[in-house]
Homo-oligomer: A and B are copies of this chain.
Amino acid sequence: MRATLMYGAGDVRIENVPDSRIKNPTDALVRITASCICGSDLHPYHSMDAAAAPARMGHEFIGVVEEVGSDVVTVKKGDLVVSPFAISDNVCEICKENLQTSCLHHEAGFWDGIPDEGGQAEAVRVPLADGTLVKLPVAADSTLMPSLLTLSDVFGTGYHAAVAGGVKAGSSVTVIGDGAVGLLAVLSAKRLGAEQIILMGRHQVRTDLGREFGATGVVSARGEEGIAQVRDLTGGHGTHVVLEAVGYMAAYEQALGVVRRGGVISRVGVPQYEDAPIGFGSLFRHNIRLAGGPAPVRAYIDELMPDILDGKIDPGKVFDATTDLDGVPAGYRDMDQRTALKVLITP
């Protein structure tokens, strides 16, 4: 079968690889019908550790179950399923607290850590299929497919940012980052009743989509100037909640600048730093809280899917390009150059 491999920074190739197949009785084999490239795939695209190469890519996909192991009971051959970007048994003590990204099972983890499997491919072996996969009540050619695919990561991640940040009716919210996750954090904050949603982003096509998703204001400036503009929009106070969907230190510093006293910074952009200011001069003095992490999107699928099926929301609008597997290397390039927001793959 064909799959996407990354050999190093900027070096993405489509190659023939051994067919994925069932290994354990809890596995499912899924023929992929839709997958995509993630903003986080651009981190190795910029600075891949050579020791990790070549790496199979892709952690967001929808597909048809082709075969299941003998222990699998919740999905069967022919089912259309969506996979979260993390594998979980969904029954351990931590999963029961709805933190499936921290599942205790030894086979649990991120797709990016599973050897020889990935979503940007023709097929994939899914470990812990009962816990991981969620059946979709539509056909594989449904026009809802782009929106349903966002349940595998970017919508659930934006939603997690808002939930972890405690967004509720009347909240004021700043969203940092106009990538797919940032835009869907806007949609999520709106869904949870936020009154004021300020999107910090510089790409007008994207911030226009942010406005469509519910942003009440857009600030394109960064750094001190951007912070000053957000303060201007909030009576000088900043916002109760800041959803940080970038992951760089500059974005964290921006979050510190726009958060209200007593407010919360909720991070879903994977931090590209380890140490950062959290002492008296940054978080502590004004009881600023810090929340977020890898989103347990498995926990949100049941809640969010009905809104998609009912046509109430259309998170799939974040996809602005579609390609087959051959076009994946160009898709990485386009997302890196920001000429594409998010690329859908139909293998």
Chain A interface (Cβ < 8 Å from any Cβ of B): 93-94, 97, 99, 101-102, 164, 237, 261-262, 267, 270-271, 273-294, 296
Chain B nearest CB, measured from A4 CB (Å): 24
Which residues of B have CB within 8 Å of A237?
A: 93-94
Q: Which residue of B lies closest to A276 (CB)?
A: B278
On whether the beta carbons of A285 and B294 are closer than 8 Å, the reply is yes
Q: Chain B residues near A102: list those with CB within 8 A.
A: 261-262, 285-287
A94: nearest chain-B partner, CB-CB:
B261
A99 close to B287 (CB less than 8 A): yes
Cβ contacts under 8 Å, A289 to chain B:
164, 289-291
Q: How far is the CB of A63 from chain B (nearest CB, A)?
A: 28
Q: Check B290 against A294 for contact (C-beta < 8 Å).
A: no
Known: A261-B102, A262-B94, A262-B99. A278 touches B271 (CB 8 A): yes
Chain B residue numbers with a CB within 8 Å of A293 are 283-288
Instruction: Name A292's contact: one of B101, B281, B284, B292 (CB within 8 Å).
Output: B284
Nearest-CB distance from A251 to chain B (Å)? 13
Whether the Cβ atoms of A278 and B278 lie closer than 8 Å is yes
Determine how close the nearest CB of chain B comes to the CB of A163; give it in whole angstroms. Answer: 11
Which single member of B99, B277, B286 contacts A261 (CB below 8 Å)?
B99
Given contacts A261-B102, A262-B99, contact A282 B274 (CB under 8 A): yes
> Which residues of B have CB within 8 Å of A271?
278-280, 284
Residues of B within 8 A of A275 (CB): 275-279
A266 to B237, CA, bound (A): 24
Distance to closest chain B CB from A55 (angstroms): 17
5 closest Cβ pairs, A-B complex: A287-B293, A274-B279, A102-B261, A290-B290, A271-B279
Q: How far is the CA of A294 from the CA of B277 in the complex (A)?
A: 17
A274 touches B281 (CB 8 A): yes
Query: Which residue of chain B has the shortest Cβ distance to A265 in the bound complex?
Result: B290
Q: What residues on B are CB-neighbors of A267 within 8 Å?
A: 284
* Neighbouring B residues of A97 by C-beta, 8 Å: 262
Contacts of A270 in B (CB 8 A): 280, 284
Contact B287 A292 (CB under 8 A): yes
Minimal Cβ-Cβ distance residue in B for A286:
B102
